[in-house]
Amino acid sequence: MIKVQTPEPFDPLMQEPLLPPKGHYSASKLERVLRAGHFAVTSELNPPDSADPRDVLKAAEPLIEVADGINATDASGANCHMSSMGICSLLSRAGQGVVFQISCRDRNRIAIQGDVLGAAAMGVGAVLCLTGDGVGVGDQPGAKAVFDFDSISLLRTLKTMRDEGVFLSGRKLSTPPKIFLGAAENPCVEPLEWRADRLEKKVEAGADFIQTNYIFDVDRFERFMEKVRARGLHKKVFILAGVGPLASAKAARWMRTNVPGIHIPDSVIERLENADNPGREGKEICIELVKKMRRINGVAGVHIMAYRREHMVNEIIEESGVLKDRL
Amino acid sequence: MYSVRIFCARHARVFEKTYTVLESLFVLLHPILNKLGYNRLEKPVAIIEKLTKGFLFDCQMCGQCVLSSTGMSCPMNCPKNVRNGPCGGVREGGFCEVNSHMRCVWVEAWNGAGRMTSGLERIRAVQPPVNRELAGSSSWLRVVREKAELRLSLKQQAKQGGPDLAKAEMANAFSDARKNHPGVAPLATEPKAALAEQAVVEQTSVHKTHKAASQ
């Protein structure tokens, strides 16, 4: 069993604000774990379609034991759910490390800069800047797409708020947000040739950590990491490789066709197809991926996206043995 | 037109050279342009710019042209208006996530930048979000104003207590992009005519793109 410290609840109004340790940008657990040199684990929470705070805790439960940061998605796939802001506020109050995801699709620069202050006030220490999927793939394709920022201009803006203590308008912040800045990268989709260059641009814009999209094609990822190492980027940014358990060959094919930015090689789908128990095979594949990621030079952790299979996250991490150094 | 726009990105180097020559020529003409009055020039030049760049690049007249930093592939044709692309949703073969019949604007951009002399260096600069106040105005005139007046106006503004705070912060936060494209975060005084069209560019630009791509 993995030993967990019982998290201390945090009440932002009754307690002193959480201060970052020396040399850290934030007080977030994720930054602490990464800077200590541990192999970090983050995982995505399935956001409830509900206004009940207990549903948030229920969704977080299977992740709490192993995740150094719980990612609250921001209407991922352009589907409406409880906001990442609401989820992060609740989980921070429960003492959990969270990653506040921001998609540029739904809010403009005025809303986002304000949200970041709000989130930081609630004790959120890590933010993930995303451009976001187009509205067309979601449950409300008639919505107006905003895209005022893109992930990179958002990163630079938040870095400016944090380090210069001003809004993009130049107005001063009396207390800047103390946040660890994250971004995504998708190493396995086109243009493969330029993906490492784009990562470099994200680092340049202000990224402190990266959570990648799903990786099922280790060869492609290795080639990406070679370029990353050649540029020395793995020393400037913590890279968490994105993995997840597939449910079946059918589900994998569906994801490949319908979810933007997912590349699954045929060999993986064949393995699921030939398995007696595809669910278990999907989990096995995921455990193998976690172990492989652990061995790649420059990978600082894994980001597990187990949509509707969150109950497996614990076992995947335990069976992979990546947290052994923290027993 | 979609095919022309693809052609331009694939011949980015020629357009880079042409643009560099034209830009320095325009900057030299600044004293004359200034005498004629930027306010008076704004509308006619914007029309010429729209026609030329509209034909070549499917230009959407954002007013802050960064073509020479985006491999001569206009980022405003990206359905997400991404100015620092590509996003993570690019389809197999380099097609757009949102409009699967269209080549990803940013795949073309990086490839185009690779064909240019200083394209790869320029595409690495972090571009700021688009200033929607400048939509519809002439980017050419803005660049000339910035490049020619910058030193002078900064000196003057420093004497008068510094430039406009909001402008200065944007210019500071995205100083890398300003090196090549001062128009993306302009500091020089804007003529009235350049700010007249404050209509937000609605998603019409996206619809136009879709139509062009399916033709």
Distance between B65 CA and the closest CA of chain A, angstroms: 16
> Mean per-residue pLDDT for A181-207?
97
What integer best gives the mean pLDDT of chain A?
95
Check residue B152 and give its pLDDT.
Answer: 66
Nearest Cα residue in chain A from B112: A194
The domains of chain A, with CATH numbers, are 29-326 (3.20.20.220)
Task: Count Cα neighbours of A177 within 13 Å in the Cβ-side half-sphere.
Answer: 27
- List chain B residues with CB under 8 Å of A149: 129
pLDDT at B208 over 60: no
Check residue A315 and give its pLDDT.
Answer: 95
Distance between A136 CA and the closest CA of chain B, angstroms: 7
pLDDT at A270 over 90: yes
Check residue A98 and give its pLDDT.
Answer: 97
> How many domains are there within chain B?
1
pLDDT at B204 over 60: no
Q: Quick check: A213 and B86 in contact, CB under 8 A?
A: no
Q: Which residue has the higher pLDDT, A203 or B204?
A: A203
Distance between A186 CA and the closest CA of chain B, angstroms: 5
Q: Is A100 on the interface with B (CB under 8 A)?
A: no
pLDDT at A81 over 70: yes
Distance between A241 CA and the closest CA of chain B, angstroms: 14
pLDDT in tens, B33-91: 999 999 999 999 999 999 999 999 999 999 999 999 999 999 999 999 999 999 999 99
Q: Is A3 on the interface with B (CB under 8 A)?
A: no
Point out the least confidently predicted range of A144-158, A286-300, B165-179. Answer: B165-179
Point out the least confidently predicted range of A220-229, B18-27, B121-130, B152-161. Answer: B152-161
Is B173–A168 a contact, with Cβ atoms under 8 angstroms apart? yes
Check residue B163 and give its pLDDT.
Answer: 60
Check residue B205 and give its pLDDT.
Answer: 46
Using a 10 angstrom Cβ sphere, with 0-12 exposed, 13-18 middle and 19 or more buried, the burial of residue B195 is middle
CB count within 10 Å of CB A114 equals 12
The Cα B208–Cα B198 span in angstroms is: 20
Check residue A125 and give its pLDDT.
Answer: 97
Residues 197-226 of A with CB under 8 A from B: 197-198, 200-201, 204-205, 213
Q: Is the peptide bond before A191 cis (omega within 30 degrees of 0)?
A: yes
> Mean per-residue pLDDT for B168-172?
84
pLDDT bracket for residue B202 (50, 70, 90): very low
Q: How many angstroms from the chain centroid is the CA of residue A236?
A: 18
Q: Which tokens go with A287?
A: 């455990």
Q: Quick check: A116 and A144 in contact, CB under 8 A?
A: no
Domain residue limits at B57: 2-214
Is B88–A186 a contact, with Cβ atoms under 8 angstroms apart? yes
Residues 153-172 of B with CB under 8 A from A: 165-166, 168-170, 172
pLDDT bracket for residue B189 (50, 70, 90): confident
pLDDT bracket for residue B200 (50, 70, 90): very low
Residues 94-123 of B with CB under 8 A from A: 94, 97-98, 104, 106-107, 110-111, 120, 123
The Cα B59–Cα A94 span in angstroms is: 50
Q: Is B207 on the interface with A (CB under 8 A)?
A: no
Cα separation values, B203 from B63, B81, B89, B103, B109, Å: 16, 10, 20, 19, 22
pLDDT bracket for residue B182 (50, 70, 90): confident
Q: Which member of A144, A164, A184 has the closest CB to residue B88?
A: A184
